[in-house]
Amino acid sequence: APAASKPILEAVQKAFSFVPNLQGNMAESPELLAGYSQLWDLFGKSTLTPHEQQVVYLTSNFENNCHYCMAGHTTLAKMIEMAPEVIAALRAGSVIPDARLEALHVFTTAVVRDRG
């Protein structure tokens, strides 16, 4: 990877204990990697909890049929100790057994399907 990508990759490694393949591939373009990292950081600063953020990510992954992203965010959900039954429901696109998270799941599904 170009030298400009190295500090970002080091920060990713520190945050997750590994560098996901997606970021590894993006590292070929330091600008792309920086933009992706900045968007990730901005979403992380939202008012959504880490569990709620993973509901948004996993719902979007399911709706977009992105198996790669689903695997990655399942790992991240497990890292934050999301309930296994919630992860399973998100992976299956079914009802989440938590009313608050289910409301976010339904809203996110509608946004993705209707493109906003």
Give residue limits of the domains in the chain.
Answer: 3-44, 50-113
- In 10 A of CB 60, how many CB atoms? 17
Structure tokens, 89: 């429901």
**pLDDT above 70: percentage of residues in the chain:** 100
Q: What's the CATH architecture for 50-113?
A: Up-down Bundle (1.20)
Structure tokens, 105: 């799941």
What is the gyration radius of the CA atoms in the chain, in angstroms?
15
Q: What DSSP line would sit under 91-108, residue for residue?
A: HHT---SSHHHHHHHHHH
Give the model's pLDDT for residue 25: 95
Is 0.85 surpassed by the pTM of this model?
yes
Mean pLDDT of the chain: 96
| pLDDT tens by residue, 38-94 | 999 999 999 999 999 999 999 999 999 999 999 999 999 999 999 999 999 999 999
How many whole angstroms separate alpha carbon 113 and alpha carbon 81?
A: 28
Give the model's pLDDT for residue 16: 86
